[in-house]
Structure 1
Amino acid sequence: MTIPELFAAAAGADPARPFLTYYDDATGERIELSYLTLANWANKTANLLVDGLGLDAGSVAAVDMPAHWLTAALLTGCWSAGLAVAHEPSDVDVAFVGEDRLGEAPKAPEVFGVGLRPMALRLAQEHPGVVDFLTEVRTYGDHFRPVAPVAGDAPALVALPRGGQRTQDEIVASARARAQELGLAPGARVLVAGERLRPLDWLLTPMAAHGSVVLCRNAEGVDLDARAASERAVRLDLG
């Protein structure tokens, strides 16, 4: 199974149900995305990559972002278009960089700056050689149809710390195994907090459980147990 197939299976017959609830306690932002809304953002991203940039299977993207709802859209969009995501962002075809990290943006033919402020606002200021992602992506359609289906043996992660790569079907298998390891029941709703969490844990594992996730950023000093209770979620301490 590929990652787009995993997402479609998780969305199931009710794609309007919540998938990702995002909190940023530094700004007071709370945003909730259904499977359908996340799919729309991911499809816009995939259309930008394929129709806008002419990229296809075999191309490589860097996603230098914190754990964020836009990161979920970017990763899902890249994998839907058949791109691999580089763990170490060098020698890539396109880079997506959070607004707070643009001073260290990797070199790429195309660099998109991604605003992290509430309400999906554009970048606070212009940066030479950087395209505003949130301005650009909105011009693309909500539906994406790949030229060819994404293959299960297509690279999904490359330039890993110990070298090598992992394919789409290997990532799906890891997400399912992680869901089982964490004891997630089908449809589980989990709460996680952190800045540098692995997408496997906060994005793909809840997806593999056909569940949902409450993702908290800048949550130092917040009573996360109380928030988990109010969100009817199980808190996961991922370190």
Structure 2
Amino acid sequence: MVTAPHPPAPRDDRPRHVADLLRLVTRDPGRPRLTWYGDDHERVELSGAVLENWVNKTTNLLVEEFDAGPGTRVVLDLPAHWRTVVWALAIWRTGATVVLAPAEDDATTGAVGTRADVVVTTRPDRWAGTRAELVAVALPALARRFGADLPAGAIDAASAVMTYGDQLGWVPDVDPEAAALEDGPSTTTHRAVFATTVATGGAREVVDGRLGVPGSLARLLTLWSADGSAVLLAPDVATGLDADPDRRARLLQSERAS
């Protein structure tokens, strides 16, 4: 008895790690991939090529300054913001672990800093006295320096990142089973971070910063994994748009986003 050949299994083109993701978003290098609406009417647009450029520079800093790689724990003490996205992608590109900072009034801050290798923060004084190396991040797009006195040995990201190469240097191999994200007691591996649900291919969607850093990152990865793009709103901007439906409709129309 002759049977028909089985059809080939569907191809799964979803990224399995950050390197895959960056190759995907740069296939059309000039296409907007992340548009940020921040406070003070700030709008920043990153094409695939520009996003990759920022990630490469930041990855090079992490590897060259801190020997970042699998097992390195990097605390992100940053709000939902386009710079936070770049730092998270760069940390994952080295194979290291993103550790989300505890809440403002959480008494475990000192303990987290003691177990961290690097802290990337807008509030370096909060982490003074811990064993971690400090990187101070200025959030405004045009900032060229942190703008405040830094603790001894802290790196000013606003000036330091720009001194690193646009092309990625040597980076360690990523262990897919190693921890990629720590959020309190919850830990997610690199493999699981990229096991995202594929959205409609090529969609451009608004991502609400009120989801917080983990929620925003998860949504962005889902969109990019499906060859989409995102408009990321600062929490206060999202709240303001809720109160002004006409303004929200204009933004959606101008960004061609859903």
Asked whether the two chains share a fold, i.e. TM above 0.5, the reply is yes
CA contact (8 A) 2:78 2:120 kept: yes
2:209 maps to amino acid: G
1:105 aligns with 2:124: no
The sequence identity of aligned pairs, in percent, is: 33
Residue 237 of structure 1: aligned partner: none
The equivalent residue for 2:179 is 155
Matching residue of 1:128: 151
3-state SS of 1:10 partner: helix
Partner residue of 1:34 out of 35, 47, 50: 47
Over 3 Å counting, the alpha-carbon distance change for 1:30 and 1:12 in structure 2 is: closer
Match status 1:191 vs 2:206: yes
- Structure 2 length normalisation: TM-score? 0.78
SS at match of 1:95: strand
Cross-structure match for 2:140:
117
Higher mean C-alpha deviation, range 223-232 or range 67-76:
223-232
User: Which whole-Å CA distance do the structure 2 matches of 1:202 and 1:94 have between them?
Assistant: 25
Q: What is the alpha-carbon distance in structure 1 between the residues aligned to residue 30 and residue 189 of structure 2?
A: 29
**Matched residue SS, 2:40:** coil
**Aligned mates of 1:55, 1:148 — CA distance in 2:** 8
Q: How does 1:159-238 map to 2 (within 5 A)?
A: 160-163=183-186, 165-173=187-195, 176-177=196-197, 179=198, 184-195=199-210, 196-197=212-213, 198-217=215-234, 218-219=236-237, 220-222=239-241, 223-234=247-258
Q: Cα RMSD between the aligned structures? A: 2.1
Contact 2:206 2:231 in 1 (8 A): yes
Shift of 1:49: 1.1
Residue 4 of structure 1 corresponds to: 18
Give the superposition deviation at 1:157. 1.1
Residue in structure 2 matching 1:63, options 76, 94, 98: 76
1:145, distance to aligned residue in structure 2 (A) = 3.9
Match of 1:72 among 85, 109, 117: 85
- AA aligned to 1:211 is G
Whole-Å separation in 1 of the counterparts to 2:158 and 2:219: 23
**For structure 1, which runs of at least 5 residues remain unmatched after alignment?**
235-239
Q: Give, as a single letter, the amino acid of the residue that structure 1 aligns with 2:240.
A: G
Q: Compare 120-129 and 30-39 and name the one that shifted more.
A: 120-129
The TM-score normalised by the length of structure 1 is 0.84
Listed one character per residue, the Cα deviations across residues 166-199 of structure 1 (whole Å, up to 9, x for unaligned) are 11111101xx22x4xxxx3111101123252424
Moved more, 119-128 or 77-86: 119-128
Conserved in 1, the CA contact under 8 Å of 2:36 and 2:45? yes
**Aligned counterpart, 1:93:** 117
Residue 202 of structure 1 contacts residue 215 of structure 1 at CA under 8 Å; is this kept in 2?
no
What are the Cα deviations for residues 49-107 of structure 1, in whole angstroms up to 9, with x where unaligned?
11122222211101111111111110111100111111346111111102xx3443373
Deviation at 1:109, TM superposition (A): 2.9
Q: How far, CA to CA, are the matches of 1:58 and 1:162 in structure 2?
A: 17
